[in-house]
């Protein structure tokens, strides 16, 4: 178990002393509030105290020089970059899971990120004290439409905005802002807390609106955010104007072709009715069939005329 000693940041684990200072906030790639764990390779208590004091002095000089060189604006910029990078990492994890579940090219995933991103940008621009309705002459709606946000997504952005606003007005949110500015060594004032909150929402919005690498498989022509939906709507609106003359010309061609088709139908229809319904046509067809079969018919007539019963019957009637 680690044991603390009189010297700050100096602890002992077993027989070895360690120097564990808090990492300064201007080291952006390190998590805020994290600590170093530097082994002094020393088991002597007095030597470890001397080394620990020297290291603490160097760290204090580094902090003093950094505070002199770094203004509050630069510290807020570091906070913004940290929040943005953390949000990008979280969104990359979500995008990876979406690709794993077969939704890598889903346009809905991209639009959800954009809707939440614009809601966070409204909170960054207008703060948490103003309640935007996003309707009528609302400055928030003007800001969205000015930046090319389609009107069909305003309702979804309004719902996300109200959810983020209720979270920002909760009691624990301000405590989180206080801890955040403490980690980045920013003076805890009401003005700095408001600036830090604005930078936090700005960092989240920048991460959510950056969709080039995260949603590279999505077809941009399917979303109104990227201009695809607006172009399709204009084409659909212009379609009836282009189709009407084409329909008229097709009707003219149909009217012109109707007489020729009806004439042929009239000529063919009597032949079919004449062959099927008229008894005379049946006789003529039978005669034609008999004419084709004349050799067979002749043999039948010879055998029928040569029978004696017909000659005996005709003889007595003539007497």
Each domain of the chain, given as residue ranges in start order, spans 3-69, 74-226, 233-318
| Residue 270 pLDDT | 47
Query: Which residues, including other chains, have CB under 8 Å from residue 90's CB and lie 6 or more apart?
Result: none
Whole-model pTM: value is: 0.53
Longest alpha-carbon distance in the chain: 173
Say how many C-beta atoms besides its own lie within 10 A of residue 187's C-beta: 11
13 forms bridges with which residues in the sheet?
16
Residue 164 has a pLDDT of: 92
CA–CA distance from 23 to each of 30, 33, 175 (Å)? 8, 7, 22
Q: What is the pLDDT of residue 157?
A: 93
Q: How far is CA 67 from each of CA 48, 55, 79, rounded to the nearest angstrom?
A: 28, 18, 15
8 A C-beta contact, residue 19 and residue 53: no
* Per-residue confidence (pLDDT) for residue 299, from 0 to 100: 43
Which residues does residue 22 pair with via DSSP β-bridges, in sequence order?
35
Q: Which pLDDT score, from 0 to 100, does residue 34 have?
A: 77
120 close to 80: Cβ distance less than 8 angstroms = no
What is d(CA 221, CA 77) in angstroms, rounded to the nearest whole number?
35
Question: For each successive 10 residues of the chain (319 residues), what is the average pLDDT?
Answer: 62 81 68 75 80 82 62 86 92 89 85 92 91 89 90 92 92 89 86 92 93 84 74 37 44 47 46 48 49 46 46 48
Report d(CA 201, CA 245) in Å as an integer. 54
Determine the pLDDT at residue 143: 92
Long-range contacts of 67-70 (CB under 8 A, 24+ apart): 67/185, 70/26
């Amino acid at each position: 178990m680690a044991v603390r000693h009189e010297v700050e940041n100096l602890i002992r684990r077993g027989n070895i002393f360690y120097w564990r200072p808090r990492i300064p906030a201007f080291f952006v790639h390190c998590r805020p509030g994290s600590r170093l764990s530097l082994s002094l390779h020393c088991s002597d208590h007095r030597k470890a105290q001397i080394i620990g004091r020297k290291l603490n002095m160097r760290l204090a000089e580094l902090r003093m020089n950094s505070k002199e060189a770094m203004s509050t604006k630069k510290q807020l910029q570091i906070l913004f970059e940290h929040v943005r990078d953390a949000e990008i990492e979280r969104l990359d994890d979500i995008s990876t899971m979406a690709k794993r579940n077969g939704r890598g090219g889903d346009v809905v995933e991209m639009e959800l990120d954009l809707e939440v991103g614009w809601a966070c940008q409204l909170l960054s621009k207008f703060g948490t004290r103003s309640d935007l309705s996003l309707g009528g002459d609302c400055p928030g709606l003007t800001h969205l439409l000015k930046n090319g946000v389609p009107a069909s997504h305003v309702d979804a952005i309004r719902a996300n905005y109200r959810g983020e606003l209720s979270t920002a007005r909760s009691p624990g949110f301000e405590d989180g802002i206080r801890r955040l500015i403490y980690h980045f060594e920013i003076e805890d004032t009401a003005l700095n807390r408001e600036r830090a909150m604005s930078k936090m929402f700005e960092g989240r919005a920048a991460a959510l609106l950056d969709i080039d690498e995260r949603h590279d498989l999505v077809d941009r022509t399917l979303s109104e955010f990227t201009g695809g939906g607006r172009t399709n709507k204009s084409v659909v609106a212009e379609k009836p104007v282009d189709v009407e003359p084409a329909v008229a010309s097709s009707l003219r061609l149909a009217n012109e072709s109707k007489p020729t088709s009806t004439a042929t139908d009239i000529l063919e229809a009597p032949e079919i009715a004449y062959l099927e319904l008229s008894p005379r046509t049946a006789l003529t067809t039978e005669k034609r069939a008999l004419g084709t079969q004349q050799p067979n018919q002749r043999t039948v007539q010879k055998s029928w005329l040569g029978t004696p019963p017909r000659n005996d019957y005709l003889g007595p009637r003539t007497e």
